[in-house]
Chains A and B, each alone.
Chain A
Amino acid sequence: MARKEAARKEQEYDDIPGTFVFDAERSLRGYGINMFCMSLMKDANRKAFKANEPEYLKQFKLTPEQTEAVLKRDYNRMLELGGNIYFTAKLGATDGHSFRHLAAVMTGSTQDDYAAMMLAGGRSAEGNRSKSGRRTTSILVGSAKPTSARPKAAKAGAGKSKSKSRSKARSKRG
């Protein structure tokens, strides 16, 4: 299955910052990652994986980069290499982590900062629409001006980290 991988064909949605759209190309490439994650729905498999991760992964024909991303729990890299969040979340769950936990990890912020950002209304779309800074249009909210500064994922916790009642309702399944 060691087919040569062609460079990714640029799609217009690749201009959305910090986003890996799970399209046909990624799905094809990431089949092994996603099927590996799917296998973790069974408790026996979770145990086998935990007992010897590299050995367990061998049955899924991952590329060396994919194997490395899984072992390192590099969630963004897994997405880039064809993983899909609903699948990789099963790996997160195997480690005892919720969607929200993984989201914070992928944004590179601390759990507290991420939770505070969400409570303050989430990450704004402003400055987060286009990597290239081009003018974008929306039927619903009109067009957004081109931006000169390159908008990386906005700083998490921009909504000022308030450390008050951040509910223990931080459920695992979030």
Chain B
Amino acid sequence: MAKIIAGVASSHVPAIGAAIDNKQTEEPYWKRVFSGFEKSKEWMEKAKPDVAIIVYNDHASAFSVEIVPTFALGCAAEFPPADEGWGPRPVPVVKGHPELASHIAQSVILDEFDLTICNKMEVDHGLTVPMNLLFGSPQEWPCPVIPLAVNVVLYPPPTAHRCYMLGKAIRKAVESYPEDLRVVVFGTGGMSHQISGPRAGLINSKFDKAFLDNLSKDPKKLTRISHLEFMREAGAEGIEMVMWLIMRGALDDKVEETYRFYTVPASNTAVGHIILEPKHRAAAKARKASGKSRRPAKMKRAAARAKTFVRRSK
């Protein structure tokens, strides 16, 4: 049986991608941002998922105003990076997992989530920037990816509650897939930001931090946030945060917060990032780390460090 081993959330600011592509990651402005993902990359390397389901939104790259699917699941074998006006990002082609993706589509549609299925789709920074942040910049991506594109451009996006429930349906779908696959779910976008109109530049760290706290401990509370509240408090484009709730819905009600990072700004945006794991998994890791495991000392130290983050982030 396939299972979900963790949830990851991360902003997907296009300027982060540009900084990677233009080799500016060591500049102080960007180092502040990238340093927050160093531990996460180590974590991801150890987690070694077989598949990543990445919830993101398209920014007028694959979809214009001609077709606006609310939820679009990528079932293709591969997804080329889109040309967003500066040439396609120099990142590897994203390989899909058509079998699991089609299984998920079928399962959630029968669960009354009427997805659009995309057998051909280009993917933009919304998908590839979080991949860089968590996987680095390898020659080939380390695992296949199932993109789930959510409309957050044309108002109204799906509600926070709908997103959360879709996450639950996705989990059910994954857990009914016969192959033993270890799956990580990403929620991307946000946090607070507004890039349009005279109010551009809005940042609300208080809102963002409360969002992160509740994402860990009380996600149901977040499902009651209205679109008006998202836009008013977190900026017109901050409404992207509904996508994080799809990821959260796919996890247990109670989870362990393994890691968190938050910094302002990257370009116009507050950058937020969190890693959530099932409690038993986090606990088993901690036990292993303290017990007489045969793992090299370096890994034990890393596991111990992972535990520290949990404490610090509370």
Contacts and interface: CB of A to CB of B under 8 A. Distances in A.
Contact of B228 (A13, A40, A93): A13
Q: Which of B14, B194, B221, B270 has the largest count of A CB atoms less than 10 A from its CB?
A: B194
A99 B154 contact: no
A71 interface: no
Contacts of B207: 125, 138, 140-141
A172 B229 contact: no
A125 B153 contact: no
Contacts of A165: 28-29
Contacts of A24: 154-155
Interface stretch (B35-43, B48-56, B58-66, B71-79): B58-66
A164 B27 CA distance: 14
B19 A100 contact: no
Contact of A122 (B18, B27, B65, B270): B270
Contact of A106 (B28, B198, B231): B198
A168 interface: yes
A173 B233 contact: no
A117 B201 contact: yes
B30 interface: yes
B195 interface: yes
A172 B153 CA distance: 22
Contact of A153 (B65, B156, B199): B199
A31 B205 CA distance: 34
Nearest to B204: A125
A100 B155 contact: no
Contacts of A153: 198-199
Interface in A17-57: 17-24, 27, 31, 34-35, 37-38, 40-41
Interface stretch (B132-140, B261-269, B273-281, B301-309): B261-269
B312 interface: no
A104 B289 CA distance: 49
Interface in B83-106: 83-86
Interface in A111-129: 114, 117-119, 121-125, 128-129
B180 to A, nearest CB: 39
Contact of A141 (B201, B203, B233): B233
A143 B210 CA distance: 14
A123 B202 contact: yes
Interface string B197-232: 111111111110011001000000110110111011
A88 to B, nearest CB: 8
A168 B85 CA distance: 21
Interface string A80-107: 0000111101100110001110111011
Nearest to B58: A86
A77 B17 CA distance: 29
B30 A167 contact: yes
B81 to A, nearest CB: 13
B233 A118 contact: no
B28 A167 contact: yes
Contacts of B60: 34, 37-38, 84, 86-87, 90
Contacts of A18: 197-200
A28 to B, nearest CB: 10
A85 B198 CA distance: 12
B83 to A, nearest CB: 7
A5 interface: no
Contacts of B214: 140
A37 B84 CA distance: 12
18 contacts: A13-B232, A35-B66, A84-B65, A93-B85, A100-B268, A106-B200, A114-B201, A118-B203, A125-B202, A130-B232, A140-B222, A168-B27, A171-B18, A171-B267, A172-B18, A173-B17, A173-B18, A174-B18
Given A76-B197, A168-B27, 19 more contacts: A13-B228, A16-B232, A17-B198, A18-B200, A19-B236, A23-B156, A34-B60, A87-B65, A89-B85, A99-B267, A100-B267, A103-B268, A106-B196, A108-B198, A117-B201, A123-B194, A123-B199, A169-B24, A172-B18
